[in-house]
Structure 1
Amino acid sequence: MSKRLSVVMIAKNAADLLPDCLASVAWADEIVLLDSGSSDNTLEVARAAGAKVFIDTDWQGYGIQRQRAQSFATGDYVLMIDTDERVTPELQQSLQSVLASPKPGAVYSIARRNYFLGRFMRHSGWYPDRVMRLYERERYQYNSNLVHESLECVNAEVINLQGDLRHLTCRDFASFQRKQLSYATAWAQERHQRGKKASIAGIFAHTLGAFLKTLVLRAGILDGKQGWLLAVVNAQYTFNKYTELWALNRGYSEKA
């Protein structure tokens, strides 16, 4: 008998993204959406599509919010996706094949194809950008990181699936930049709490390294104009992370 699948997602003010996302997983046994306090009609859109909707506005980071969302799922397997992601038909076939004949204990890696300023990137470290998103609900869950959370599955066998998860990473540059800044801030706060330090030399070394890594080591130059722009964006993001950590170390970014 095929295993039941719960598609699980967290959301906030994603009404414009949800219709295509939900349509791409409408074949799943259930869709669980945990909202963190939307002011648009995210809840209405989700319910109209048949999703099970829950609300928790006590935001403690992406990792904990994903744990909470998963707690509402009832399927044998969880497919964790974001509202700006879409399951392609080829990936759907791969997922259904796994559910029909899963390998106990294994987790499944999915290639994300990331969209940046009018182009689905093929290099720059943004493809295949594999993420572990399909797993047994009762065996695994996400860690508690504030940002850049990941699945806790040490020593698990990882199986690569065919088909892409399309990710609308950057449709609107201003919104993308705001999101990147919030990620950088959360990253710095988490590292600061763990006693990590940053120096001026380290800030610039990491920033330059991020630019060269994207453009040269990850062949971003083959992505044309977008590859060059993404290299700068990654360098900027890295600069923001380490500068905020440096400021926190010295008490320059403490809340009044």
Structure 2
Amino acid sequence: MSQRKRLSVVLITRNEAELLPDCLASVSWADEIVVLDAGSSDQTRHIAAQASARVFQSTDWPGFGIQRQRAQAYASGDYILMLDADERVTPPLRRAIQEVLRQPDPEVVYSCARRNLFLGRFMRHSGWYPDRVVRLYARERYRYNALPVHESLETSGAGIVALAGDLQHLTCHDLPAFQRKQLLYAEAWARERHRQGRRCGMLAIISHTYGAFLKTWLLRAGFLDGRQGWLLAVVNAQYTFNKYATLWALNHAERENDL
């Protein structure tokens, strides 16, 4: 029988003092916890150190993909479990992960079903469940791409195995903070598309915005999530509007500068 593999839980953080304790408590059973902090001004690093995590600090922000890969480089375990501070590993998911460590297969990566919290409700529809994300994988075989936002693990055609149990994700427990984060994501998305030469007209802004609402509310059965489902459909439409309107503004500014 092969020896049980070691697990490194890896997080990137910045000002996560409020959310971090429960996240770290949910993975206190791991062989190692690695935290790469991007200049927090609160107690994030102290909280991580108190939880016996190995804490490192970066002085710049290269984007999510590169930052995750930087954090992974500090890990020493055979397997990586990549988490965010607003996520919690449930007991069933813990058992599934421990089973993988006892019988590993480096040729595959493992996905978790996220249960996303939106304004006090763990959503069951609206495209927010099961919201599978690949988070468990062999450290030496896989790495993150360099995208500044919506980064992903480069799996090189590896098989994906779904783990039992849920990963709780406190996506939106504070609406203003969630909206500010969405605005930053929208700007990063627009700037990356602008850099790639993408163009956007007013018709695209309108169609994508209304399409995002209808997709969440009707096609993904957001109406079954009650009031939160309707609000999420509006938020998704707003986020989509911000993405395409920002891209249009960048294109427009470029044309003005060329005159």
- Is 1:33 aligned to 2:35, yes or no? yes
TM-score between both structures, scaled by the size of structure 2: 0.96
Secondary structure of the structure 1 residue equivalent to 2:229: helix
Secondary structure of the structure 1 residue equivalent to 2:217: helix
Q: Distance in 1 between matches of 2:77 and 2:211?
A: 43
Q: Distance in 2 between matches of 1:108 and 1:46?
A: 26
In the TM superposition, 1:79-228 aligns within 5 A as 79-228=81-230
Whether the 8 Å CA contact 2:110–2:137 is kept in 1: the answer is: yes
Post-superposition offset of 1:102: 1.0
What is the RMSD of the two structures over their aligned residues, measured on CA atoms?
1.2
Q: Distance in 1 between matches of 2:4 and 2:14?
A: 32
Write out per-residue CA displacement over residues 164-186 of structure 1, whole angstroms, 9 at most, x where no aligned residue.
00000001100000000000001
Q: Distance in 1 between matches of 2:148 and 2:252?
A: 22
Write out per-residue CA displacement over residues 210-240 of structure 1, whole angstroms, 9 at most, x where no aligned residue.
0011011111110000000000000000000
Post-superposition offset of 1:202: 0.3
Post-superposition offset of 1:57: 2.3
Residue 51 (structure 1) aligned to one of 46, 53, 63: 53
- Is 1:249 aligned to 2:251, yes or no? yes
Q: Distance in 2 between matches of 1:247 and 1:74?
A: 45
Q: Distance in 2 between matches of 1:168 and 1:179?
A: 13
Q: Distance in 1 between matches of 2:9 and 2:115?
A: 19
Counterpart of 2:205, as a letter, is: I
Q: Distance in 1 between matches of 2:163 and 2:68?
A: 22
Q: Distance in 1 between matches of 2:156 and 2:190?
A: 25
Identity over the aligned pairs, expressed in percent? 67
Write out per-residue CA displacement over residues 139-193 of structure 1, whole angstroms, 9 at most, x where no aligned residue.
1011111100011113110000000000000011000000000000011111111
Q: Which runs of 5+ in 1 are unaligned?
A: none
Whether the 8 Å CA contact 2:111–2:160 is kept in 1: the answer is: yes
Counterpart of 2:72, as a letter, is: Q
Secondary structure of the structure 2 residue equivalent to 1:251: helix
Post-superposition offset of 1:122: 0.3
**Any runs of at least 4 consecutive aligned residues in structure 1 with deviations exceeding 3 A, and if so which?**
none
Q: Distance in 2 between matches of 1:87 and 1:189?
A: 33
Post-superposition offset of 1:58: 1.0
Q: Distance in 2 between matches of 1:248 and 1:92?
A: 45
Counterpart of 1:72, as a letter, is: Y
Q: Distance in 2 between matches of 1:195 and 1:57?
A: 30
Q: Which runs of 5+ in 2 are unaligned?
A: none
